[in-house]
């Protein structure tokens, strides 16, 4: 958790600002692998995945699971989340 005061004057990307037409590789992987169920966690999951892939170009399963454990998925789509991140990572490397 970060307070608004801690990001004052810094650039913050929201889910709406990630891609104007939802064509970011992570968003496309989410749709292709049908990750979302209820939508409760999707903004947090997607932005966490983007942040991870901006730092680690080819994360392994343990790195993905550790990073994504900070966002609770009520529907338990964790296996699809991992696969979507791996798919997006491949696309981002190409």
Within a domain: 11: no
**Is residue 87 scored above 80 in pLDDT?**
yes
Question: What's the total number of domains in the chain?
Answer: 1
The pLDDT, as a whole number, for residue 39 is 86
Cα–Cα distance, 60 to 63 (Å, whole number): 5
> Residue 1 above 80 pLDDT?
no
Measured CA distances, 57 to 46, 66, 76, 77, 78 (Å): 16, 16, 25, 22, 20
Report if pTM > 0.85: yes
Q: What is the CATH number of the domain that holds 55?
A: 1.10.150.120
Confidence label for 33 from pLDDT (cuts 50, 70 and 90): very high
91 found inside a domain: yes
Domain enclosing residue 82, as ranges: 38-94
Q: At 8, is the pLDDT very low, low, confident or very high (cuts 50, 70, 90)?
A: very high
Task: Decide if 30 is inside a domain.
Answer: no
In a domain, 15, yes or no: no
Instruction: Give a yes or no: residue 48 inside a domain.
Output: yes
Over residues 31-57, mean pLDDT = 95
- Provide the mean pLDDT of the chain: 94
């Amino acid at each position: 958790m970060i307070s608004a005061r801690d990001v004052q004057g810094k650039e913050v990307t929201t889910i709406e600002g990630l891609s104007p037409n939802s064509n970011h590789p992570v968003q496309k992987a989410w749709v292709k692998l049908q990750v979302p169920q209820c939508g409760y966690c999707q903004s947090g999951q997607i932005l966490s995945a983007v942040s991870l892939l901006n730092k680690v170009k080819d994360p392994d399963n343990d790195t993905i699971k550790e990073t994504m454990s900070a966002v609770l998925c009520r529907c338990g789509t964790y296996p699809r989340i991992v696969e979507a991140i791996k798919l997006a990572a491949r696309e981002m490397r190409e």
